């Protein structure tokens, strides 16, 4: 497919002018050596970040090179937590330190401490528990806090768990008989940006190329490729309840599995060990070595697992495992007014229509699809695969609030050939390219004025290719100190 790409590669505003002028004189020789391995650049709305080495080295590179972006993510999260809970930030950080930090794998915690050290060297002081809380904010805000709020009879907005649209196909479903994976992220428009493509080259384990947030050691969205030949994505399990504070944080298990698993089975086993129920997801996984695809539904009490070499799996937040669906969710899987159900119906329509033809071009088309199966027409809204709740008055009786600022934030697609080369295509802003103006939205819907200063514009961006280890052309500049 011929592509017209508008690529903007520029120096990130990562360092103050005096740091450049002094040649990073405030850094130790060891820190300078660490930074020589990392680099970052901008491309079509994305921030590409390469880190490598030991956990501490990689964390330092991450924290130093993305210090302003991590600081902004913490600012946004702090204000969001304040509004949703009415509790102070110190309480959130203490909770992260009490519930999450002691359970994080030591290697992951060393990388987090490296981020703290890197940010401090860049002039932004944060604590270990703040970065742990940032990595686990979905687990705390969407799974732990609702239970605490209910027990204390605190009024708090209920979390959305209808997010992301994904599919994976192989065998007779695809044009070349190999794996094709597509995913888009859905989230609140006031949340921290997830516009980082991180290339992780660790001293031990497999290389990882994945989408993430500034300051995350895991993905969070989730979309990843590894040098073990694994590809993966997830969609949250909708209307889920369940959280075990004694378990291992989901973000630590995800990073560990993605870095060390050599097969689908190994990846799933690592995710299941110590499961805390936080950020409960249906994972769509593929192994380009065996051409197998799988779906892992990880509740708290129950686990669903299927694997095949021919066919497809889809994700739209409806649990497929009946034990999880009936015992761990309150989902009504037949109410097509609901986004999760309408999108599930649409996925099966598309899989049937394009069986045997699915490729990268169609994957992009699927992730930007605007057909509403409840209204039976093209109408970008809460029920379309490329979701736009901000356009939806919800006069149909469906769940949620009118014109909720929530929807699709991106699109990513990969096939087996690309995965072998550690590459994928991604589009930031919206999978269909529909632009979003925060100023216009807030002017039209002042009931969300608390999001002023948090919500940001997302202009139309093109689909662009990312490859692990690939720097910009030699004539273009990167933010590193090589």
Tell me if 105 is assigned to some domain. Answer: no
**What's residue 16's pLDDT?**
34
Residue 292: inside a domain? yes
**Per the structure, how many domains does the chain have?**
1
User: Environment class of residue 352 by beta-carbon count within 10 Å: exposed (0-12), middle (13-18) or buried (19+)?
Assistant: exposed
Assess if residue 350 is contained within a domain.
yes
Are the beta carbons of 293 and 326 closer than 8 angstroms?
Answer: no
pLDDT recorded at residue 471: 87
Boundaries of domain holding 319: 165-193+202-450
Tell me if 390 is assigned to some domain.
yes
pLDDT score at 429:
97
Q: Is residue 169 part of a domain?
A: yes
Q: Is there a domain that residue 65 lies in?
A: no
Q: What is the CATH number of the domain that holds 331?
A: 3.60.60.20
pLDDT at residue number 397: 58
Nearest to 396 by CA among 410, 381, 417: 381
pLDDT by 10-residue block (mean), the chain, 482 residues: 38 36 71 98 98 98 98 98 96 98 98 98 98 98 94 80 90 98 97 98 98 98 98 96 96 98 98 97 98 98 98 97 97 94 98 98 98 97 96 74 94 98 98 98 97 97 97 54 40
* Residue 151 forms part of a structural domain: no
Residue 5: the pLDDT is 38
* pLDDT for 401: 85
* 80 part of a folded domain: no
């Amino acid at each position: 497919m011929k592509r017209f790409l508008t690529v903007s590669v520029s120096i990130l505003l990562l360092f103050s002018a005096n740091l450049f002028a002094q040649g990073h004189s405030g850094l130790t020789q060891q820190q300078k050596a660490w930074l020589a391995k990392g680099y970052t650049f901008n491309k079509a709305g994305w921030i590409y970040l390469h880190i490598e080495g030991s956990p501490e080295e990689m964390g330092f590179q991450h924290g130093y090179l993305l210090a302003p972006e991590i600081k902004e993510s913490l600012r946004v999260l702090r204000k969001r937590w304040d509004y949703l809970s009415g509790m102070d930030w110190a309480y959130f950080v203490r909770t992260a330190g009490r519930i999450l930090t002691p359970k994080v794998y030591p290697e992951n915690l060393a990388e987090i401490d490296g981020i703290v050290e890197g940010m401090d060297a860049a002039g932004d002081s944060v604590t270990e528990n703040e970065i742990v809380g940032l990595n686990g904010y979905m687990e705390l805000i969407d799974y732990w806090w609702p239970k605490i709020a209910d027990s204390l009879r605190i009024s708090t907005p209920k979390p959305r768990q209808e997010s992301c649209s994904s599919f994976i196909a192989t065998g007779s479903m695809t044009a070349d008989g190999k794996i094709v994976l597509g995913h888009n992220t859905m989230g609140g428009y006031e949340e921290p940006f997830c516009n980082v493509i991180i290339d992780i080259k660790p001293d031990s384990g497999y290389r990882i190329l994945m989408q993430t947030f500034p300051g995350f050691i895991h993905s969070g969205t989730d979309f990843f490729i590894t040098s073990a030949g694994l590809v993966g994505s997830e969609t949250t399990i909708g209307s889920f309840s369940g959280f075990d504070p004694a378990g291992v944080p989901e973000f630590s298990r995800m990073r560990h599995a993605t870095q060390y698993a050599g097969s689908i089975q190994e990846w799933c086993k690592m995710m299941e060990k110590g499961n805390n129920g936080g950020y409960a997801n249906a994972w769509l996984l593929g192994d380009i070595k065996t051409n197998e695809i799988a779906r892992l539904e990880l509740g708290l009490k129950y686990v669903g697992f299927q694997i095949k070499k021919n066919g497809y799996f889809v994700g739209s937040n409806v649990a497929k495992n009946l034990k999880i669906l009936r015992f761990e969710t309150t989902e009504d899987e037949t109410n097509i007014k609901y986004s999760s159900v309408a999108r599930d119906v649409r996925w099966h329509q598309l899989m049937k229509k394009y069986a045997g033809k699915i490729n990268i071009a169609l994957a992009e088309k699927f992730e930007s699809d605007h057909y509403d199966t409840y209204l039976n027409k093209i109408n970008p809204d809460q029920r379309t695969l490329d979701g736009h709740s901000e356009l939806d008055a919800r006069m149909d009786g469906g769940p949620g609030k009118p014109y909720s600022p929530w929807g699709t934030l991106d699109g990513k697609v990969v096939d087996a050939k690309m995965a072998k080369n550690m590459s994928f295509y991604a589009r930031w802003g919206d999978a269909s390219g529909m632009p979003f103006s925060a100023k216009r939205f807030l002017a039209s819907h002042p009931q969300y004025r608390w999001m002023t200063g948090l919500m940001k514009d997302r202009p139309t961006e093109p689909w662009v290719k990312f490859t692990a280890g690939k720097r910009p052309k030699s004539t273009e500049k990167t933010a590193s100190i090589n």
